[in-house]
Amino acid sequence: MAVSSLFGAKVKRVEDPKLITGQGIYVDDITLPGMLYMTVLRSPYAHAKINSIDLSSALKNPNVVMCVTGKELKNEVNYLQVGWDASSANPPSKVPKRYPLESDKVRYVGDGVAALVATDKYTAKDVLESISVDYTPLSVVTKPKQAIAKDAPILHEELGSNETWNIKMQFGDFTKSFNNSDVIIKEKLINQRLIPSAMETRGVVASYNLGTKQLTLWSSTQIPHQLKKYLSFTLRISENKIRVIAPEVGGGFGSKLNFYPEEALACYLSMKTGKPVKWIEERRENMTNTIHGRDYEIDVEAGFKKDGTIQGVKCKVFCNVGAYYMHFTALLPHLTALMIPGCYKLPSLDYDCHVVLTNIISTDAYRGAGRPESIYIIERIMDLAALELDMDPVDIRLKNFPQSDEFPFTTTVGLAYDSGDYSNALNEVLKLVDYSTFRNKQKELRKQNKYIGIGFSSYTEICGWGPSAGIEATYPKTNAVLGKWEYGAVRFDPSGKVTVETGSSPHGQGNETTWAQLVAHELGVSIDDIVVLHGDTDAVPYGVATYASRSATLGGVAVYNACQKIREKAKLIVAKQFEARHEDIVFDQGKFSVKGLSEKFMSITDVAKSAFVADNLPENVEPGLSETSFYDPSNFTFPFGAIAIIVEVDILTGEIKILDYSSIDDCGNVINPMIVDGQLHGGAAQGIAQAQFEEAKYDDNGQLITSSFMNYYIPTAFELPNYRLSRTITPSPVNPLGVKGVGEAATIGSPPAFVNAVIDALKPFGIKNLDMPLKPETVWNAINNSKK
Amino acid sequence: MYPKSFEYISPTNIDDVISLLDKYKEDAKLISGGHSLIPLMKLRLVSPQIIVDLNNVSGYDNIALNQDILSIGSRVTHHEIEISNLLKEKCYMIPEAAALIGDPQVRNVGTIGGALAQADPAGDWGSVMLSLNAEFAVKGKNGDRSIKSIDFFKDYYETDLTYDEILTEININAPDKSQGGAYLKLERKIGDFATVGIAVQLSVKKNHIDNIGIGLTAVSNTPIKAIKSEEFLLNKQITDENILETANITAQNSDPNDDIRGSAEYKKAMVKEFTIRAIKLAIKRCKRD
Amino acid sequence: MSNKILTPKKNHNIKLKINGINYEKEVDSRLLLVHFIRETIGLTGTHVGCDTTNCGACTIILNGKSVKSCTMFAVQANNKEITTIEGLSKDDKLHPIQEAFWEEHGLQCGFCTPGFIMQTYNFLKENPKPTEKDIRLGISGNLCRCTGYQNIVKSISSASKKLDK
């Protein structure tokens, strides 16, 4: 793949001028005539029966237009569909259904019981407090083991149990591996619950036209096309009467790839009142009601030979998934298993995972979505084994990597990693940090009672979601409403300017710039002549979404494929113009010409004009110059890398300072290095934040204690380091661009590197494991207990 | 995010402010920077019927040195204190503490008087003023009075101020050149409330502690003065053992809660550790004889 | 002591200047300044990202100082001068801070960006030649979830050099 001046170039983002001048339109910036404001009355109890709701005081208020409860809704709307319910798994998962409002009982603090619309925001907020609901509180469970204990209260009685799914997977023969091992590592690992906390909370404006019976929904979402399907089912209106628009979206990180009750509710109330309805989530509301991430408890056993060769891993996992299945809730515990092998030749894996409902908000995809959990497991295991075997953590990793000539490399779970060179990445990062100098410095400082440590993480992860047939064949049938392809289109207009349509729905990832670079590179058009449309289901008729690092890997490839179709049609048109055979037309540096006769050429703009004038087109070639592509990949892609974090620990207070963050990240070919680096910075920040700062905490009554940024600690610029990034480029053979995806890589790879670094710093104290977040008190306790 | 309804007034005369506060008593709240009250109102944790705004009253916004008394007007912002050359020269601990309050934007608006009157036990100013034996000038319907800082803080969010009284000025005996001070704050991240905070102001004479004031943040229901620690260290020789013992006494006499920022056990241990560090730093900053 | 009747009120008439333009409006006491700017005046570049004065997305310049407009009432802005993000560029020409953020990829989703830019505007006025540590402290009242801050720091450093010329 030849690198042009634009593919691989640092190009300033075309998205930025509106954003840096405050002209970007986010959902709360939208005002429509006659717009009403919606608020949702939410349960103060984590688990309770709803006996009655008295709306009279609300209805008395002249500014309140309409109120609705779950009971009334149940006759008119369907439940909320999810993207993955695993009901066809073997054994099948139970599926806890969720409705836009609950009618019989509430299952977490925040569960909606009524919604109202008023003519102004203040009335809508004030009146909520006057609605009285009679609840009978029930006992509450907030942890999985508590929820499956005898006599635990059952959240969904019709399911009979709070354990919805027991995922049991065995690859290879763990018992044999166990017997072959010289040492067995045993540890309990916690991957704690996180709150995604995009800077823009969720929000919607729904507008139903009583005359045309068309519904338009603006939503701060990552999945506009999927929302069309979901709304169609829930609201019982046909999909072709629905338009969904994702305006500027202020971050998502997975928390907005979902179908939320408020989206359905706002649409319903707009349909009933004939007026636009706006709902904007407050931050406390967001922290309680927008999906959380992670929350796994893992008992791990791993067998190793004396020389460090890994034999097998056994995991018993409890996933605390909250009160309902939402979009990908059920997928993640399954997906985690598939990436536990990480970068290693792992002979066997035994995975026993209990997916358990509790009286808190659901978990779902949050940057990494199941894979941070996998890499945390294997990368901590590597360090635990290195400690046990008195091996260098670098050596134990090098020992177990497949070599670059062993790719595509099929792991014990049956995934074929497309390409990789893990040894090279790790060795390169050692150079970056000057490893041997570090170890000497560490030794010297220990003599002075000062403690620094280095932690490594070799990561790979599964991206480019995904091959539709392959997924259905490998996994249980998903009952998904949409495949896993992506859509792209390239359309010339008669003046020769280009509009690109993409089913990707970016919210910060810079796809408008990157796709413009791609199209400019492929067709020789100036970037200034390209507009990229996304997020509006009327402007872009098909799409799946942005998540699972599938933008470049699928969305970009679809656009690329559309460009190839354009080139083919252009060649036919040029051939007719130049009275040549179409096989003799070449395209180089933006010019179509007959091979060997380059002085006579047509630019793509010339071709476009000609295509629309249509006075000299070949037979069987229609006028116009626009092509579409639905790209369904043959496989996933697997970016990889190595991260090294150096920390200093104050052993008197437990405070940790990051002295250095270095990484080699390989996402295959790079279209815009500036944008790729930005994704790595942001990903690393969230990974470090998980390792050091963030933790969603509930009390025993199911109340979220960490319900604001005052005590849910999102780091500022002061807490975070600079990220010293470097790259290797190992193109993916899966797609013609050779790209692998990068959006989640650093969030997946960095938490174990941080924890490994702190454990390494505290090696003289004999501390083997610490749970995230590594608060100063956690470290201080461990040090004090070790002295005893 | 949306406060309940209330009525608002912003007088230009301090006597009018006082008469309004006296008239409406517990139904009214005074705002200066508003960055303690308004966040509570937005969460509807507090919903006063009347807000009296101090910001259109002129004055009470100076930092001055008058005959060995350092005066800080109650309406001076944390930022103005942070950048004050006079305070950096005369009492470094004060701008040092100011820089640790909230964040830059909050410091542009929040005032020292408002923060002290709020009496949040985790507020940074209380311990600083207690360590300096500051006195607070107060104006009310019965005229002016001065409250010693040690008598000012009564309980969580409760001070000695009556409904009608307004804190107008903070007065400190200007430390002489032989004094040094330090304010250290342990926080989970910058801008957070203190897990623990220690203010130490002292002077050294012939390798003995000649003068000592210690205040603690976030370890009780009010900011507290570590009187027993001060009594112990006063006139003692500067040795590691004496500093350690002072730290032990300070920790023993603190009474922190278990909360999201840490367990009581951890906080007490941090009180001890930070007392040692603050004393040593304060000593280093003295210009010795 | 004055003899006039002092009556607290729910509704107030306020006069203020925003981005060089004079406004006179009726406001309810409880209307937050950020909502006044966004909804009464229609300048939606200033954003709301939290409800506890932490995130800084609502940062504006009020009488020359950066403040979090979510933690003030509109009525408190009476007789004051405000600059919002929309007031930074003049006649289609970007302010050097805006240019720097664009060049250095100091934004991704853009939601926190106006708040960062306005805080930077105040910060660089007071610290024209900041070190990296100064910058990281100077923006510690603003949260970003996308960028990991490194490019924001670079943007501010670059802006300081542009403004120094």
Which residue from C minimizes the CA distance to B35? C71
What is the helix (H) or strand (E) element at residue A604, kind and residue range? helix A604-613
What is the spatial distance between Cα B114 and Cα A521, in angstroms, rounded to a whole number? 60
C118 and C159 belong to one structural domain:
yes
Average pLDDT of every residue of chain A: 95
Interface contacts A/C by beta carbons within 8 Å? 172
| Residue A294 confidence (pLDDT) | 98
| Residue A406 confidence (pLDDT) | 94
Quick one: pLDDT band at residue B288, thresholds 50, 70, 90? Answer: low
C81 and C104 belong to one structural domain:
no
**DSSP secondary-structure letter at A584?**
G
What is the spatial distance between Cα A452 and Cα A439, in angstroms, rounded to a whole number? 9
Domains of chain A, first to last: 27-138+197-289 (3.90.1170.50), 296-466+635-787 (3.30.365.10), 485-631 (3.30.365.10)
Q: What is the CATH number of the domain that holds B196?
A: 3.30.390.50
| Residue A704 confidence (pLDDT) | 98
| Residue A549 confidence (pLDDT) | 87
Upstream peptide bond of A261 is cis (omega within 30 degrees of 0): no
Mean of pLDDT values over A93-107: 95
Say if residue A302's pLDDT is above 60: yes
C68 and C107 belong to one structural domain:
no
C78 and C113 belong to one structural domain:
no
| Residue C92 confidence (pLDDT) | 85
| Residue A531 confidence (pLDDT) | 97
In a domain, C33, yes or no: yes
Distance from CA of A680 to the nearest CA of C (A): 8
Distance from CA of C27 to the nearest CA of A (A): 13
Interface of C with B (CB under 8 A): 1-2, 6-10, 12, 28-30, 32, 48, 51-54, 56, 59, 65-68, 70-73, 75-76, 78, 119, 122-123, 126, 137-142
What share of chain A has pLDDT > 90, as a percent? 93
Q: Does B45 touch chain A (CB under 8 A)?
A: no
Q: Which domain holds residue B44?
A: 7-53
Q: What is the CATH number of the domain that holds B49?
A: 3.30.43.10
Contacts of C53 in chain B (CB under 8 A): 35, 38-39, 106
Q: What is the CATH number of the domain that holds C59?
A: 3.10.20.30
| Residue A469 confidence (pLDDT) | 81
Mean of pLDDT values over A156-169: 96
Q: How would DSSP label each residue in A7-56? A: TT-----TTHHHHHTT---BGGG---TT-EEEEEEE-SSSSEEEEEEE-H
Q: Does B2 touch chain A (CB under 8 A)?
A: yes
Say if residue A325's pLDDT is above 80: yes
Q: Which domain holds residue C106?
A: 96-164
Say if residue A44's pLDDT is above 50: yes
Q: What is the CATH number of the domain that holds B140?
A: 3.30.465.10
Q: Does A716 touch chain B (CB under 8 A)?
A: yes
Say if residue A27's pLDDT is above 50: yes
**DSSP secondary-structure letter at A574?**
H
Mean of pLDDT values over B255-270: 96
In a domain, C26, yes or no: yes
Mean of pLDDT values over C118-124: 98
List CB contacts of A444: < 8 A, sequence separation 6 or more: none
Residue-wise pLDDT for B150-198, tens only, equals: 999 999 999 999 999 999 999 999 998 889 999 999 999 999 999 999 9
Q: Are A635 and A462 in contact (CB under 8 A)?
A: no
Q: From the candidates C34, C150, C153, which should be mutated to test the interface with A, based on the most A CB atoms within 10 A?
A: C150
Selection from B253, B263, B273 nearest residue A781 by Cα: B263
Q: From the candidates B2, B103, B120, which should be mutated to test the interface with A, based on the most A CB atoms within 10 A?
A: B2
Q: Does A719 touch chain B (CB under 8 A)?
A: yes
Contacts of C114 in chain A (CB under 8 A): 22
In a domain, B2, yes or no: no
> Which of B16, B33, B53 is a domain's end point?
B53
Mean of pLDDT values over A369-398: 98
Quick one: pLDDT band at residue A483, thresholds 50, 70, 90? Answer: confident
C155 and C102 belong to one structural domain:
yes
In a domain, C4, yes or no: no
Q: How would DSSP label each residue in C89-157? A: SBTTBPPHHHHHHHHTT--SS-SSHHHHHHHHHHHHHH-SS--HHHHHHHTTT---SSS-SHHHHHHHH
B69 and B165 belong to one structural domain:
yes
B209 and B232 belong to one structural domain:
yes
Residue-wise pLDDT for A624-681, tens only, equals: 999 999 999 999 999 999 999 999 999 999 999 999 999 999 999 999 999 999 999 9
* CA–centroid distance for B98 within its chain: 9
| Residue A3 confidence (pLDDT) | 37
C48 and C70 belong to one structural domain:
yes
What share of chain A has pLDDT > 70, as a percent? 98
In a domain, C81, yes or no: yes
Mean of pLDDT values over A704-733: 97
Q: What is the CATH number of the domain that holds C155?
A: 1.10.150.120
Q: How would DSSP label each residue in B151-180? A: HHEEETTEES--TT-EEEEEEEEPP-TTEE
**8 Å CB contact of B189 and A715:** yes
Is the ipTM here above 0.85? Answer: yes
> Which of B147, B173, B199 is a domain's end point?
B173
Number of domains in chain C: 2
C101 and C57 belong to one structural domain:
no
The set of chains that have 3 or more CB pairs under 8 A with B is A, C
| Residue A84 confidence (pLDDT) | 87
CA distances from A628 to A499, A528, A578, B132 (A): 12, 21, 26, 74
Q: Are B215 and B198 in contact (CB under 8 A)?
A: yes
> Which of C24, C59, C87 is a domain's end point?
C87
> Which of B173, B202, B219 is a domain's end point?
B173
C24 and C61 belong to one structural domain:
yes
B127 and B38 belong to one structural domain:
no
In a domain, C25, yes or no: yes
C80 and C101 belong to one structural domain:
no
Quick one: pLDDT band at residue A479, thresholds 50, 70, 90? Answer: low
Mean of pLDDT values over C94-100: 98
**DSSP secondary-structure letter at A59?**
H
Q: Which of A121, A716, A777 sits opposite B263 (nearest CB)?
A: A777
Which ranges constitute the DSSP H helices of A366-490? 371-389, 393-400, 422-433, 435-447, 468-474
B39 and B80 belong to one structural domain:
no
Quick one: pLDDT band at residue C4, thresholds 50, 70, 90? Answer: low
What is the spatial distance between Cα A521 and Cα A431, in angstroms, rounded to a whole number? 35
CA distances from A277 to A113, A121, A205, A262, B129 (A): 18, 11, 5, 11, 52
Mean of pLDDT values over C130-141: 98
Number of domains in chain B: 3
The token pair at A322 is 């909250």
What is the spatial distance between Cα A523 and Cα A627, in angstroms, rounded to a whole number? 13
In a domain, B58, yes or no: no
Mean of pLDDT values over C11-36: 98
Mean of pLDDT values over A164-189: 96
C19 and C44 belong to one structural domain:
yes
Quick one: pLDDT band at residue A476, thresholds 50, 70, 90? Answer: low
> Which of C68, C87, C106 is a domain's end point?
C87
Mean of pLDDT values over B121-145: 97
In a domain, C119, yes or no: yes
| Residue B147 confidence (pLDDT) | 98
List CB contacts of B198: < 8 A, sequence separation 6 or more: B127, B182, B183, B184, B214, B215, B216, B217, B250, B271, B274, B275, B277, B278
Q: Does A403 touch chain B (CB under 8 A)?
A: no
Quick one: pLDDT band at residue A2, thresholds 50, 70, 90? Answer: very low
Q: From the candidates A10, A11, A19, A278, which should be mutated to test the interface with C, based on the most C CB atoms within 10 A?
A: A19
